[in-house]
Chains A and B, each alone.
Chain A
Amino acid sequence: AQSVAQPEDQVNVAEGNPLTVKCTYSVSGNPYLFWYVQYPNRGLQFLLKYITGDNLVKGSYGFEAEFNKSQTSFHLKKPSALVSDSALYFCASSNDYKLSFGAGTTVTVRA
């Protein structure tokens, strides 16, 4: 079975500070992991994915994620957060044709 967990319901940061959104995974076999962002009343937007290879994955809008096998984590990071990064973030793992999503983390970036 494949699942992910997002331990924080909410993350608050000041604009210009580093942003980290946490995700841990529990999978059998190779983990295939994804990050999505959702703005209010919009569909989810794909940010990045880890399939294999480099543990640091770069994605859209300046986001990156670090795959850590020993800690079974796939945290999303941005070196300098913007107010426009305020949104709902989802981590997901792939299971055959389907994705299993975490519960989501609301990010608020204050000016």
Chain B
Amino acid sequence: SQTIHQWPATLVQPVGSPLSLECTVEGTSNPNLYWYRQAAGRGLQLLFYSVGIGQISSEVPQNLSASRPQDRQFILSSKKLLLSDSGFYLCAWSLWAGGPYEQYFGPGTRLTVT
């Protein structure tokens, strides 16, 4: 069966500090990978998605970037955090061909920028 991991679970960072959130998927190959941000426990905003190693699509121009160095690894980064980067960050994966497929979500990272 497939499993998706995210870490850390919670993070408190000062404004201006760097960020690195990691997501890994087990039990599947060549998944589509996604990063979302959820503010105030409500709507989901798609930040990035990737259909393959090194292939990143950005949905919203902002202070964040994403990378996919390995098939089942997806990293969300920032060089300098802003207060507005606070939120609940969710990684998700889906099968890659013949869709449409549902996405499966990780447990999330709660980021607080102080």
Interface residues of A, Cβ cutoff 8 Å to B: 32, 34, 36, 40-46, 49, 51, 88, 90, 94, 97-99, 101, 103-104
- 27 A-B residue pairs with Cβ-Cβ distance under 8 Å, sorted by A, are A34-B102, A36-B105, A40-B41, A41-B88, A42-B108, A43-B6, A43-B92, A43-B106, A44-B90, A45-B105, A46-B102, A46-B103, A49-B102, A51-B100, A88-B41, A88-B42, A94-B99, A94-B100, A97-B32, A97-B49, A97-B94, A97-B99, A98-B49, A101-B43, A101-B44, A103-B42, A104-B43
Complex formed: what's the CA distance from A101 to B92 in Å?
Answer: 14
Q: Mark B15-35, 1 if CB is under 8 A from A, else 0.
A: 000000000000000001010
CB-defined contacts of A41 to chain B, threshold 8 Å: 88, 108, 110
Binding site for A on B (CB under 8 A): 6, 32, 34, 41-44, 46, 49, 51, 88, 90, 92, 94, 99-100, 102-108, 110
B99, B102, B108 interface centre (most CB from chain A within 10 Å): B102
Q: Could you tell me the dominant secondary structure of chain A's interface residues?
A: strand
Given contacts A43-B106, A45-B105, A94-B99, contact A104 B49 (CB under 8 A): no
Residue among B34, B44, B110 with the highest chain A CB neighbour number at 10 A: B44
B103 in contact with A99 (CB, 8 Å): yes
A90–B102 Cα gap in the complex (Å)?
A: 13
Instruction: Give min CB distance, A1 to chain B, whole Å.
Output: 14
Per the bound structure, the CA–CA distance linking A43 and B4 in Å amounts to 11
